[in-house]
Chains A and B, each alone.
Chain A
Amino acid sequence: MSLDDAMQTFIIECRELLESMEAALLSAEEAPASEEAINAIFRAAHTIKGSAGLFGLDHIVSFVHVAESVLDKVRNNEIPLDPPLVALMLQVCDHIGLLVSYLEQLKEPDNDLLEGSAILQAGLSIYLSDTPPPSASTLPVEHDAPYESEGGTPVETDNWHLSLRFNQDVLRNGMDPLSFIRYLGTLGKVVSIITLTDTLPPLDAMDPETCYLGFEISFSSNADKAEIESVFDFVREGSLIHILPPRSKISEYIELIQSMPADDMRLGELLIKCGTLTRQELEDGLASQREVESPDQAKPIGEVLIEQNVVQPVVVAAALDKQKAVKDVKTAEASLIRVDANKLDQLINLVGELIIASSGASLIAQKEALPHLLESTSTISRLVETIRDSALSLRMVPIGGTFSKFKRVVRDVSAELGKDIQLEISGEETELDKTVVEKIGDPLTHLVRNSMDHGIEPAEVRLARGKPVVGTLKLDAYHDSGNIIIEVSDDGGGLNKDKIFAKAVERGLIKPDQILSENEIYNLIFEPGFSTADAVSNLSGRGVGMDVVRRNIEALRGTVEIRSVLGEGATMRIRLPLTLAIIDGFLVEVGDSSYVVPLDMVIECIELPVTQAGHNAENDADFINLRGEVLPYLRLRKHFEITGEPPRRENVVVVQFGDRKMGIVVDQLMGELQTVIKPLGKVLNKIRGIGGFTILGNGRVALIVDVPSMMQEAEHAANAQISDAN
Chain B
Amino acid sequence: MSKTVMIVDDSTTLRQVVRLALEGAGYSVLEGADGKDALSKLTGQKVHLIVSDVNMPNMDGITFVKAVKQLPAYKFTPVIMLTTEAGESKKLEGQAAGAKAWVVKPFQPAQLLMAVSKLIMP
Contact = CB atoms under 8 A, between A and B. Distances in A.
Direct contact of A and B (CB under 8 A): yes
Interface of A: 1-3, 5-6, 9-10, 13, 39-40, 42-43, 46-47, 49-56, 61, 69, 72, 134, 136, 139-140, 171-176, 179-180, 182-183, 186, 209, 231, 233-235, 237, 313-316, 318, 320, 322-323, 325-326, 328, 330-331, 334-335
B113 to A, nearest CB: 11
Contact of B11 (A1, A47, A313, A323): A47
Contacts of A314: 92
Contacts of B59: 323, 325
Contacts of B78: 173-175
Interface string B25-65: 00000000110110000000000010001011111101100
Interface string B108-119: 110100010111
A335 B10 CA distance: 10
Contact of B119 (A61, A69, A174, A325): A174
Contacts of A313: 92, 95-96
Contacts of B33: 331, 334-335
Contact of A173 (B34, B62, B100, B104): B100
A50 B106 contact: yes
Contact of A47 (B10, B18, B75, B102): B10
Contacts of A231: 118
Given A43-B57, A175-B101, A331-B10, 5 more contacts: A3-B20, A72-B86, A182-B121, A231-B118, A314-B92
A9 B31 CA distance: 15
Contacts of A234: 100-102, 115, 118-119
A51 B82 CA distance: 12
Main secondary structure of the interface of B (DSSP, over half): mixed
A271 B119 CA distance: 27
Contacts of B10: 43, 47, 330-331, 334
Contacts of A180: 118
Nearest to A234: B101
Nearest to B36: A325
19 contacts: A3-B20, A5-B16, A9-B13, A47-B11, A49-B105, A50-B82, A51-B14, A55-B17, A72-B86, A139-B107, A172-B76, A173-B76, A174-B119, A186-B117, A320-B62, A326-B58, A330-B10, A334-B12, A335-B37
Given A61-B106, A175-B119, A334-B33, A328 B57 contact: yes
B85 to A, nearest CB: 6
Nearest to B118: A183
A201 B13 CA distance: 49
A6 B17 contact: yes
Contacts of B111: 139
Contact of B57 (A49, A182, A330): A330
B59 to A, nearest CB: 7
Contacts of B89: 316, 318
A325 B78 CA distance: 25
Given A174-B78, A315-B96, A316-B92, A69 B14 contact: no
A10 B13 CA distance: 5
Contacts of B118: 179-180, 183, 231, 233-234
B36 A56 contact: no
Contacts of B19: 1
B48 to A, nearest CB: 9
Contacts of A172: 75-76
Nearest to B32: A334
A52 B102 CA distance: 19
A-B pairs, top 9 by smallest CB distance, nearest first, are A53-B106, A174-B78, A334-B33, A10-B13, A234-B101, A51-B13, A328-B57, A6-B16, A173-B100
Contacts of B100: 173-175, 234-235, 237
Nearest to A133: B86
Given A6-B17, A49-B106, A325-B58, A174 B11 contact: no
A42 B86 CA distance: 13
A179 B120 contact: yes
Given A182-B121, A320-B93, A54 B13 contact: yes
B79 interface: yes
A69 B20 CA distance: 29
B39 to A, nearest CB: 12
Contacts of A50: 9, 11, 14, 53, 82, 105-107
A648 B26 CA distance: 80
A1 B119 contact: no
Given A13-B11, A53-B107, A320-B62, A1 B121 contact: no
Contacts of A42: 55
A171 B108 contact: no
B55 A46 contact: yes
B20 A173 contact: no
Nearest to B115: A234
A53 B108 contact: yes
Interface in B70-102: 75-79, 82, 84-86, 89, 92-93, 95-96, 98, 100-102
Contacts of A325: 36, 58-59
A179 B120 CA distance: 6
Contacts of B36: 325
A315 B92 contact: yes
Nearest to B49: A174
Contacts of A326: 57-58
A46 B56 CA distance: 10
